[in-house]
């Protein structure tokens, strides 16, 4: 049912209603006429339990192993990327954060941090993914506060068997480029221009198209 919820972007109450109403959803979830569909509060508690028992990583690894056994992973390359995830609360001052560190509250988010994007300041998290080129299946993922730079998480998104690596200029490092060439891995990370070294017209076009275009 959680697969269906993710695929169709359903809230917990909507998921309960849709599974009750649609035979295709019931067949997918293995529910027959003699089975009672879990109510939305049960669905919510189940998801909370997965997090509490730290089973999300095991479930992800199990699913990935099943996908790989079906030959759906191409392993030709990995495209790395990051996205901003909003926090449920506002940014905290140093004083308030210190106070909540001493006296935690389940109502206040102290794990998120501020970041600046497009000239605006956000109090958020970051979701990082390593996507298998060709199949577009996620092989690696990580979640951090908004503070770490994207390049700091890059190595955690690589599986080690890829023949190419793609990403935007936030991941660009000369040392990584040299390492990739030495190991025979195609380095498709977009170049970052500097005051001393401007991007060529070809590099500018590649930056506008994005790493996904290069990965094709």
Written as tens digits, the pLDDT of the chain (216 aa) is: 999 999 999 999 999 999 999 999 999 999 988 889 999 999 999 999 998 999 988 999 999 999 999 999 889 899 999 988 876 666 566 666 566 566 665 555 556 666 666 666 666 788 999 999 989 999 999 988 878 889 999 999 999 999 999 999 889 898 999 999 999 999 999 887 766 677 667 666 666 666 765 566
What pLDDT, on a 0 to 100 scale, did the predictor assign at position 85? Answer: 80
**Distance, CA of 139 to CA of 155 (rounded, Å):** 13
Q: Which residues contact 88 (CB under 8 A, 6 or more apart)?
A: 109
What pLDDT, on a 0 to 100 scale, did the predictor assign at position 83? Answer: 87
What pLDDT, on a 0 to 100 scale, did the predictor assign at position 191? Answer: 83
What pLDDT, on a 0 to 100 scale, did the predictor assign at position 116? Answer: 65
Assess contact for 114 and 146: CB atoms under 8 A. Answer: yes
Assess contact for 159 and 130: CB atoms under 8 A. Answer: yes
What are phi and psi for residue 111, nearest 5 degrees? -90, -30
Tokens of 213: 């275009």
What pLDDT, on a 0 to 100 scale, did the predictor assign at position 157? Answer: 96
What pLDDT, on a 0 to 100 scale, did the predictor assign at position 51? Answer: 87
Assess contact for 127 and 80: CB atoms under 8 A. Answer: no
What pLDDT, on a 0 to 100 scale, did the predictor assign at position 154? Answer: 94
Tokens of 182: 């030495």
Tokens of 183: 């190991």
3-state secondary structure the chain: CHHHHHHHCCCHHHHHHHHHHCHHHHHHHCCCCCCCCCCHHHHHHHHHHHHHCCCHHHHHHHHHHHHHHCCCCCCCCEEEEEEEEECCCCCCCHHHHHHHHHCCCCCCCCCCEEEEECCEEEEEEEEEEEEECCCCCEEEEEEEECCCCHHHHHHHHCCCCCCEEEECHHHCCHHHHHHHHHHCCEEEECCCCCCCCCCCHHHHHHHHHCHHHHHC
pTM of the model: 0.72
Assess contact for 72 and 134: CB atoms under 8 A. Answer: no
């Amino acid at each position: 049912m959680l697969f269906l919820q993710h695929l169709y972007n359903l809230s917990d109450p909507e998921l309960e209603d849709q599974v009750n109403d649609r035979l295709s959803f019931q067949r997918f979830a293995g529910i027959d006429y003699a089975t009672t569909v879990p109510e939305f509060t049960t669905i919510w508690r189940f998801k909370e339990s997965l997090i509490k028992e730290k089973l999300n990583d095991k479930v992800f690894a199990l699913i990935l192993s099943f996908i790989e056994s079906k030959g759906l992973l191409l392993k030709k390359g990995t495209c790395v990327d990051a996205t901003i995830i909003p926090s449920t609360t506002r940014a905290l001052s140093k004083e308030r954060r210190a106070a909540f560190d001493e006296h935690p509250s389940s109502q206040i988010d102290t794990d998120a941090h501020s970041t600046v994007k497009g000239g605006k300041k956000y109090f958020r998290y970051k979701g990082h993914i390593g996507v298998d080129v060709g199949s577009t299946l996620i092989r690696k993922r990580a979640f951090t506060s908004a503070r770490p730079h994207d390049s700091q998480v890059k190595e955690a998104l690589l599986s080690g068997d890829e023949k190419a690596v793609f990403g935007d200029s936030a991941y660009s490092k000369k040392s990584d480029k040299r390492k990739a060439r030495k190991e025979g891995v195609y380095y498709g990370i977009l170049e970052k221009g500097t005051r001393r070294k401007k991007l060529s017209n070809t590099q500018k076009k590649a930056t506008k198209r994005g790493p996904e275009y290069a990965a094709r």
